[in-house]
């Protein structure tokens, strides 16, 4: 948009002394309305983006990106698992291929019982060790590592004991199930931040799991971890492995059970964006009021400009550009305020997330450049449209009536 000499003169006059307009009562409330509404919108999106990314990161660290099961039996012989491990690690996308034993078990302490998820690794495996916050991450026979919330629920610490029960469906007597029950010493506490895992996980070595589950030299599956840049391509990798391994194995990707959750979170994030955008629209109504008042206040200047030959379009562009600078500046200040509000939200201790509801138990933020561009664009469009609406009254202004009143 090119400006005439007259327009450049008035715009530069404003830019040299913006306080003359910014300190007007109606402009102060207009700016506050824009800053607060954009700040709330930006903070909400920052928190939701942080929640989504944190949940995905913790989930991908806690579960296998791709899992391989035997299609012929419940277990895979350890010799075959080691062969598959060598084959899988040859793929450039794979960072680790880990044979594991998994089973549903029950934990019992002082009459309290909770369903748990048993996961057994080779003694030399350390993929889980970065989440062991207390005790030793080293796996030893007849020692177990349990989840943080499980330990908290049973009031357990390192070196305490916990009974693990495995109900054996193949050992049913006249008196009912004959479970396998053993007592183990707790050698470590596991805390990933993903609530479902932290309240149910029990980790041990192959020998300990074999004694409890009455299995020997067999694993349940092979868990594959991918490089970060390939975690969104699991379906493609799954298809490749299915073709390579044949019908003897079942290949599953993490997205099969969790893709719906992240689609729901993304939908909720943009619904929050739409709802909070109405706050900017309400601030836009305040802009309409402020611009209308400004036109009345500047009626004498407008009348003089009309008298010396300035056209309605020229005057409209002068006022529009002047107020648009204020509005866009307020939007930027609002985005900065939103970042500050987000930071305060994660630092406060009044409200915390409930892990059993939200999967994670702490607030996080992530300031996405894409989200900030969308926020600025939407807020700018709303504000600029609201500035333009009352400016149409300039063309209906009667110059003679203005001079008569003044």
What gap in Å lies between CA 177 and CA 204, rounded to an integer? 24
The mean of the pLDDT values for the chain is 84
Separation CA 78–CA 2 (nearest Å): 76
Please tell me the distance from the alpha carbon of residue 268 to that of residue 261, in angstroms, as a whole number.
Answer: 11
Q: Which of 196-210, 228-242, 339-353 has the lowest mean pLDDT?
A: 339-353
Q: What is the pLDDT of residue 105?
A: 93
Q: Each residue of 192-216: pLDDT tens digit?
A: 888 888 999 999 999 999 988 888 8
- pLDDT on residue 20: 53
CA triple 197-200-204, angle to 5 deg:
95
Query: pLDDT tens digit string along 36-72?
Result: 999 999 999 999 999 888 888 888 888 889 999 998 8
% pLDDT > 90, the chain: 43
Residues above pLDDT 70, as percent of the chain = 85
Nearest-5° Cα angle at 176, 174 to 179:
125
Q: Is the pLDDT of residue 332 over 70?
A: yes
* Whole-angstrom distance, CA of residue 189 vs CA of residue 328: 51
pLDDT digits (tens, 9 = 90+) for 10-35: 555 554 555 555 556 677 888 999 99
Number of H helices, E strands in the chain: 14, 14
**Which position has the higher pLDDT, 367 or 260?**
367
Question: Which residues, including other chains, have CB under 8 Å from residue 161's CB and lie 6 or more apart?
Answer: 183, 184, 185, 186
Which pLDDT score is estimated for 128? 87
* pLDDT for residue 15: 44
Buried b (16+ CB within 10 A) or exposed e, 379-399: bbebbbebbeebbeebeebee
What pLDDT shows up at residue 314?
A: 76
Q: Could you tell me if 342 and 41 are in contact, meaning their C-beta atoms sit under 8 angstroms apart? A: no
Q: Distance (Å, rounded) from C-alpha 253 to C-alpha 321? A: 54
List of long-range contacts for 79-87, beta carbons under 8 Å, 24+ apart? 79/217, 81/219, 81/222, 84/222, 84/245, 84/249, 85/222, 87/244
Q: Residue 205 phi/psi, 5° resolution?
A: -95, 170
H-assigned helices in 63-90: 78-88
Q: Is the pLDDT of residue 110 over 90?
A: no
Going 374 to 380 to 381 to 382, the CA torsion angle's sign is: positive
What tokens appear for 134 in the block?
């207390």
Name the more confident of 105 and 57. Answer: 105
Asked if 404 contacts 299 with a C-beta cutoff of 8 angstroms, the reply is no
Which pTM was predicted?
0.77
Query: Over the stretch 284-294, which tens digit does the pLDDT of each residue have?
Result: 998 998 888 87
Answer for the pair 187, 129: CB distance below 8 angstroms, yes or no.
no
Distance CA 358, CA 52 (A): 11
Going 275 to 279 to 285 to 291, the CA torsion angle's sign is negative
Cα 178 to Cα 193: distance, rounded to the nearest angstrom: 35
Largest CA distance in the chain: 108
Sequence ranges of the domains in the chain: 5-59+261-405, 64-253
Name residue 164's beta-bridge partners.
107, 182
Report residue 139 as tokens.
């796996």
Q: How far is CA 350 from CA 35, 94, 362, in A?
A: 25, 42, 12
Q: pLDDT for 297-330, tens place per residue?
A: 777 777 766 666 667 777 778 788 888 988 999 9
DSSP characters for 317-369? HHHHHHHHHHHHHHHHHHHHHHHHHHHHHHH-SS----HHHHSBSS------H
Q: What is the pLDDT of residue 389?
A: 87
- The angle subtended at Cα 204 by Cα 203 and Cα 208, nearest 5°, is 145
Q: What are phi and psi of 147, to 5 degrees?
A: -65, 150
Identify whether the C-beta of residue 189 lies closer than 8 Å to the C-beta of residue 135. Answer: yes
CB atoms within 10 A of CB 131: 24
pLDDT at position 395, please? Answer: 72
DSSP 63: S
Mean pLDDT check: name the lowest of 4-18, 82-96, 374-388. 4-18
The CA distance from 156 to 114, in Å, is: 14
């Amino acid at each position: 948009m090119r400006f005439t000499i007259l327009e450049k003169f008035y715009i530069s006059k404003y830019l040299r002394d913006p306080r003359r307009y910014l300190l007007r009562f109606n402009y102060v409330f207009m700016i506050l309305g824009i800053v607060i509404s954009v700040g709330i919108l930006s903070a909400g999106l920052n928190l939701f983006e942080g929640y989504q990314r944190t949940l995905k990161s913790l989930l991908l660290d806690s579960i296998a990106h791709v899992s391989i099961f035997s299609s012929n039996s419940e277990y895979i012989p350890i010799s075959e698992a080691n062969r598959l491990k060598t084959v899988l690690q040859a793929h450039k996308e794979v960072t680790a291929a880990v044979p594991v034993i998994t089973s549903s078990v029950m934990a019992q302490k002082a009459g309290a019982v909770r369903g748990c998820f048993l996961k057994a690794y080779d003694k030399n495996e350390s993929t889980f060790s970065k989440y062991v916050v207390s005790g030793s991450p080293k796996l030893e026979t007849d020692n177990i590592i349990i989840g943080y919330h499980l330990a908290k629920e049973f009031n357990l610490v390192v070196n305490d004991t916990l009974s693990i029960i495995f109900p054996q469906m193949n050992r049913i007597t006249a008196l009912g199930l004959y479970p396998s029950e053993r007592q183990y010493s707790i050698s470590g506490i596991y805390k990933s931040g993903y609530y479902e895992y932290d309240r149910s996980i029990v980790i041990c070595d192959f020998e300990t799991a074999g004694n409890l589950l009455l299995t020997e030299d067999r694993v349940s599956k092979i868990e594959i971890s991918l490089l970060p840049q390939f975690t969104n391509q699991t379906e493609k990798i799954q298809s490749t492995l299915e073709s390579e391994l044949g019908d003897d194995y079942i290949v599953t990707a993490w997205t099969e059970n969790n893709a719906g959750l992240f689609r729901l979170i993304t939908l909720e994030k943009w619904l929050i964006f739409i709802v909070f955008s109405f706050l900017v629209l309400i601030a836009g109504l305040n802009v309409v009021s402020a611009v209308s008042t400004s036109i009345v206040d500047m009626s004498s200047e407008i009348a003089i400009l009309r008298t010396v030959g300035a056209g309605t379009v020229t005057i409209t562009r002068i006022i529009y550009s002047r107020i648009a600078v204020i509005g866009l500046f307020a939007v930027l200040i609002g985005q900065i305020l939103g970042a500050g509000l987000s930071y305060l939200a994660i630092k406060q201790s009044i409200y915390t997330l409930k892990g059993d509801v939200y999967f994670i138990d702490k607030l996080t933020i992530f300031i996405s450049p894409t989200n900030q561009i969308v926020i600025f664009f939407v807020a700018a469009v709303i504000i600029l449209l609201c500035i333009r609406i009352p400016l149409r009254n300039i063309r209906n202004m009667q110059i003679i009536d203005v001079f008569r009143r003044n």
